[in-house]
Amino acid sequence: MLNRTATSALAAAGLVGGYAVARQTGNRQLGGAVLAAVGGVCTYSWAQSSGAGRAAALLGTYVAAFGGSHPLAKKIGAWQSVGVVAAGTAVASQVLSKS
């Protein structure tokens, strides 16, 4: 199990890394695989440290961040959007997870 700060950083990295992989390779499915794999690791860590309910809420935040980054990108740009949602997800993870 990762500590709270490591899991928060990993969640943010999953969003940034998933986008970076998709952009660099031109393969959206590969970027999605990175996003999903990191989300799985984070969810496991959240469940172990904070319980299933908080893990579900944090996974929902992670997925909503991914989905929300798309319309936000039309307003502020792709990388800026990914940065905003990654930071928001990291903050949510810090606030909602127990350890």
Q: Which residues contact 98 (CB under 8 A, 6 or more apart)?
A: 4, 49, 50, 51, 54
Length in residues, the chain: 99
**Distance from C-alpha of 57 to C-alpha of 83, rounded to nearest angstrom:** 21
- Could you tell me the CA-to-CA distances from 17 to 5, 33, 59 in Å, in that order? 18, 10, 17
How confident is the model over 8-26, as pLDDT tens digits? 999 999 999 999 999 999 9
Residue 89 identity (one-letter amino acid): T
* Of residues 88 and 5, more confidently modeled: 88
pTM of the model: 0.93
